[in-house]
Amino acid sequence: MSTGLLESPLRARRDGGHKLLMPYVTGGITPGWTGYLRAFAAAGADAIELGLPFSDPTLDGATIQEASDAALARGATAHGILAEVAELRLDVPLVASTYYNLVLRDGPAEFCRALRRAGVAGLIVPDLPLDEAGELADAAAATGVDLVLLASPATPQRRLDEIARRSRGFVYAVSVMGTTGERAALAEPAAALTERIKQGSDRPVLLGFGISTPEQAVEATRRADGVVIGTAIMRRILDGAAPDDVGAYLTGLRRALDQECDETRWPATPDTRRGTAP
């Protein structure tokens, strides 16, 4: 099967020796919120996760729940957010993420058509059980949207292989058994989960949940192909950070990932460390 509008660019970047960076923003969080999308693209994002706010986001921690509540209080709706996105001309793929109730409200086929009309390339629905994903997967495929599936550290290997096979765009590896949120250290099972997914699939693997610092991002991408950064961004936005402020934070993450790739490909020698090599 050919790769889609999300997976193709992610594979190209990964196969070119780069680590993938996917920041998250809750749609409608502030007036002029689309400025964050432009800032993310300018900072070197490989894809952007666009949260469509929902009143009961069971997989999200306190920060993203607060962001969803704030966006809903401003009157944000999925259709309104997509209408704003449709006006943008970004050269970075967008990945919508939301809960299945919003998909059911329009029906999977119409929901996916609305995503494509807005230029969205991928979809994440974290509360969609794998065994019930068939209708949405078919609707997404019919409209050219890559339906991304999630895997957790507790997922048995046989099911993990099926998730990797049926996921499109990339496989979203959840680093911990819990909700989103910043953490002091990367959970130990995250590396093992990434290795297990890669055993049976060449699809890109992005690790999310709990990654917020350049050091954590570099550590995560020593096994994974990339990282998803959500809560750390939304905490800054809720505290009043402007798009340029968040862009500067992402630029630091991008620089750390690129530097790690460069050092892996061209390890420093005594001469280069002294600055005498070309």
Query: Which residues are marked as active site?
Result: 49, 60
Tokens of 42: 């300018």
Question: What is the enclosing helix (H) or strand (E) of 107?
Answer: none
Four-CA torsion 11, 15, 16, 21, nearest 10 degrees: 50
Q: Which long-range contacts (CB under 8 A, 24 or more apart) does 259-263 make?
A: 260/19, 260/218, 260/221, 260/222, 261/17, 261/18, 261/19
Q: Which residue(s) pair with 85 in the sheet?
A: none
Is residue 108 within 8 Å of 143, Cβ to Cβ? no
Is residue 106 within 8 Å of 83, Cβ to Cβ? no
Tally the C-alpha atoms within 13 A of residue 184's C-alpha that lie toward its C-beta.
0
CA atoms of 241 and 190, how far apart (whole Å): 29
For residue 165, give every residue at least 6 positions away whose Cβ sits within 8 Å of its Cβ, in sequence order, or none: 200, 201
